[in-house]
Structure 1
Amino acid sequence: MKNYLIIFVISLSFTAFTHAQKIDTEKVFGGYKYTYNNELISIGDLASIIETNTDAYKLIKKGRTNRSLSGVLGFVGGGLIGWPIGTSLGGGEVNWTLAGIGAGLIAVAIPISTRSNKKINQAVELYNASINPTSSTTFKPEFKIIANGRGFGLAMNF
């Protein structure tokens, strides 16, 4: 009876500790929100979690680089648009060429940002596929109480 109990405890602990957590993605206004263990995580934390999967890590590095580039282009473009608007509101002479250049920079930043989000989401999907959540959901042991001439027992079939 002790042997069965030990085997039962070992099998339960094995299934409890081998279950890796999935990263959840949710689309929000202006981008995506990533959660791990029901906690909101940043892109940097996401990269450190995904680091164990080399293919997913390559994708997330590309996505982070594109995200930084689009952020810089969008910031500079917004500044170049805001400067003439502020000058106009202040009553000064407006240089609309700056606003046009700023609009062009923002127009370039938007597709780069979209590509960045796609790469990061592909990395998350690749990571989630690699942790193999189907193996833990298909593992459904059957427990039976058995009795024979020797006594009662618990049988586990998987």
Structure 2
Amino acid sequence: MKKLIVLLAIILSSFAYSQEITMQGHKYFMNGQQLSSREVKEKLASNTQALEQFKSGKNKASLGGLFLGLGVAFCTADLVKGLVSDEDYPGAPTYIGAGFLAVSVPILIGKNKKMRQGIETYNAGLKNSGDADDLELNLITNQNGYGIQLRF
């Protein structure tokens, strides 16, 4: 019985000391220490909805960065080509690059919102996980004998 009480105390105390992730600018902090994106993903792994939202934001950042880079590359390449040759400067690559730049802006704007939603979902889950209503203690029996089951 003493072992059971100690086990319950340890489990409940781990929920009480669950730490929230905060986002300041583009950096993530827990207990005043900065976390890398990989560490944030490891923390969010316990909440699949929060992890999916965070990953969606990271995917948007990658896709937006790709479009931004392509836009800059097309515009720069056409500018250099216009400077060193006799061709007209605003050619097709400049317009293609401008299109890529225009597409990248809304994608990059939405990335921070998705990542913030993921972190907020994770933090909301931490606040709800310590409720006594979530705990179930059952006596179970099977072919191996009797036991106690704790669900949280």
TM-score range, shorter chain: 0.5 to 0.7
Structure whose CA Rg is larger: 1
Give, in whole Å, the separation in 2 of the partners of 1:19 and 1:128. 12
Structure 2 letter corresponding to 1:83: A
SS at match of 1:35: strand
Give the alignment partner of residue 91 of structure 1, picking from 84, 87, 101: 84
* CA pair 50-105 structure 1, distance change in 2 beyond 3 A: same
Deviation at 1:74, TM superposition (A): 1.0
C-alpha deviations, 1:10-48, integer Å up to 9, x for none?
x79x64774112111123xxxx22222323333333222
| TM-score for both structures, normalised by structure 2 | 0.66
The gaps in structure 2 that reach 5 residues or longer are 1-8, 131-152
Alignment match, 2:6: none
* CA pair 108-35 structure 1, distance change in 2 beyond 3 A: same
Q: Given the alignment of the two structures, is residue 128 of structure 1 paired with residue 126 of structure 2, yes or no?
A: no
* CA pair 86-39 structure 1, distance change in 2 beyond 3 A: farther
SS at match of 1:132: helix
Q: Given the alignment of the two structures, is residue 47 of structure 1 paired with residue 47 of structure 2, yes or no?
A: no
Structure 2 letter corresponding to 1:26: Q
Deviation at 1:123, TM superposition (A): 0.3
Give the alignment partner of residue 23 of structure 1, picking from 8, 21, 24: 21
The gaps in structure 1 that reach 5 residues or longer are 1-10, 136-158
Alignment match, 2:62: 68
Tell me how many residue pairs correspond in the alignment: 123
SS at match of 1:125: helix
